[in-house]
C-alpha cells in the first residue's frame, strides 16, 4: 500500500494530518498465548465451520479468527478465559462421546452435526449450556473475522472484502456514500500500514 502517513489533506479550511486517524502510540499486542496448540486446533476447527472457506472466498480460519480469539483471551478478555477453556474441553468431550474422536479430527459434516447440537442447546456437558458457549464463539468469530486486522484477524482484509466494508479512511467523500455501487476498498488498518498484510 502507498505510504501516505506524511501527507496532509485539505478539508475545508483546515489542514488535517493524515496521521490523525492513526495512533501515535499503538499499544503493543501481546503474544498469542492464551491457548495451547491443541486448544487452538480445536478452536480453529470450530470457527472453520461457522464461516467456511468456499466459493465465496476465505473463511474464518483463513482470516485468522482463532488467532484473534487467542490474543483477546490473553489480553482484554482474560476474565472469560477459564469459561472459554471449559467450553472448548466440553466441545472435545462431546465430540469424543458422539463421534469417537476429538473435534478437530472430524470431518466437516461431523463437526457441523456437533455444532448444530450445540446451537440448539442439545449438546451435553456444557456450563451453563452448549448454546451459551456456541453463541460466544460465534460472536468472537465475527469479531475476529471482521475487526481491524490490527487485532490479529481479518487477514489480508478478507473479512472486510467478504461483506464489502471499504475500510476506515481519513476523509469520506460524497461518492463514498453512494447507493447501488460497491465502494472501492482501502485495505488499510486504522492503526497503521503494516497491519493486515
Partner 1 sequence: MAINLKPVDVAVVGLGAAGGVAVLPLAKAGLKVAGIEAGTWMDPHKQYHADEVFNNVRGGVTSVQKANREIPTVRENASSPTRPRGAIHPMMNAIGGTSIHYWASAWRLKPWDFRTRSEVEKRYGKSAIPAGSTLEDWPVTYDELEPFYDTIEHEVGVSGNAGNIQGKLDPKGNVYEGPRQREYPMPALRGTEYTEHMMATAKQLGWKPFHGPAAINSQTYNGRPGCVYHGYCGRGGCHISAKNSTAVSTIPAAMKTKNLTIFDLAQVTRIQTGPDGRASGVTYIRDGKEYFQPASVVLVASYTYENSRLLLLSKSKAYPNGLANNNGMVGKHFLSHWQGSPVFALFPYNINVWYGTPAQTTVVDDFADDNYDHSGLGFIGGTSISLGTEMHPIEAASMNTFGKAPQWGSKWKAFVKENAARWTSSYLQTSTYPYEQNFLDLDPDVKDPLGDPVCRITNANMPNEAKAAAYGQKKTEEWFRAAGAIEVIRGGAGSGGLSTHSYGGTRMGDNKETNVLDKWGLAHEVPNLGVLGGSVMGNSGARNPTLTVQALAWRTAEHIVKNWKSIKT
Rounded to the nearest angstrom, the gap between the alpha carbon of residue 80 and the centroid of all alpha carbons in its chain is 17
What is the residue whose three cell numbers read 480445536? 42
49 touching partner 1, by CB under 8 A: yes
Residues touching partner 1, count (CB under 8 A): 55
171 touching partner 1, by CB under 8 A: yes
Neighbours of 113 (CB within 10 A): 15
Task: Judge whether 160 and 76 are in contact, CB under 8 Å.
Answer: no
Which of residues 39 and 154 has its CB atom nearest to partner 1 in the complex? 154
Which of residues 105 and 119 has its CB atom nearest to partner 1 in the complex? 119
- Given 119, 129, 136, 193, the residue binding partner 1 (CB under 8 A): 119
The nearest distance, CB 95 to partner 1, in angstroms, is: 17
By rule CB under 8 A, what string of x and - marks binding of each residue 64-103 to partner 1?
------------x---------------------------
**Distance (Å, whole) CA 149 – CA 157:** 7
Q: What are the backbone angles phi and psi of residue 19, rounded to the nearest 5°?
A: -65, -15
Amino acid at each position: 500500500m502507498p505510504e501516505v502517513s506524511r501527507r496532509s489533506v485539505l478539508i475545508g479550511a483546515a489542514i488535517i494530518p493524515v496521521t490523525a486517524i492513526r495512533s501515535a502510540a499503538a499499544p503493543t499486542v501481546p503474544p498469542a498465548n492464551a491457548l495451547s496448540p491443541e486448544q487452538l486446533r480445536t478452536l480453529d476447527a470450530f470457527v472453520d465451520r461457522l464461516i467456511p472457506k468456499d466459493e465465496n472466498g476465505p473463511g474464518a480460519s483463513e482470516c485468522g479468527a482463532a488467532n484473534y480469539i487467542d490474543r483477546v483471551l490473553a489480553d482484554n478478555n482474560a476474565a472469560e478465559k477459564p469459561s472459554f477453556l471449559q467450553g472448548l474441553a466440553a466441545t472435545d468431550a462431546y465430540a469424543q462421546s458422539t463421534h469417537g474422536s476429538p473435534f478437530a479430527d472430524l470431518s466437516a459434516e461431523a463437526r457441523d452435526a456437533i455444532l448444530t447440537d450445540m446451537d440448539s442447546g442439545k449438546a451435553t456437558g456444557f456450563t451453563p449450556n452448549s448454546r451459551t458457549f456456541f453463541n460466544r464463539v460465534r460472536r468472537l468469530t465475527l469479531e475476529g473475522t471482521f475487526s481491524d486486522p490490527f487485532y490479529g484477524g481479518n487477514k489480508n482484509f478478507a473479512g472486510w472484502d467478504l461483506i464489502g466494508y471499504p475500510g476506515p479512511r481519513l476523509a469520506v467523500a460524497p461518492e463514498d456514500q453512494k447507493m447501488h455501487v460497491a465502494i472501492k476498498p482501502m485495505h488499510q488498518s486504522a492503526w497503521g500500514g503494516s497491519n493486515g498484510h
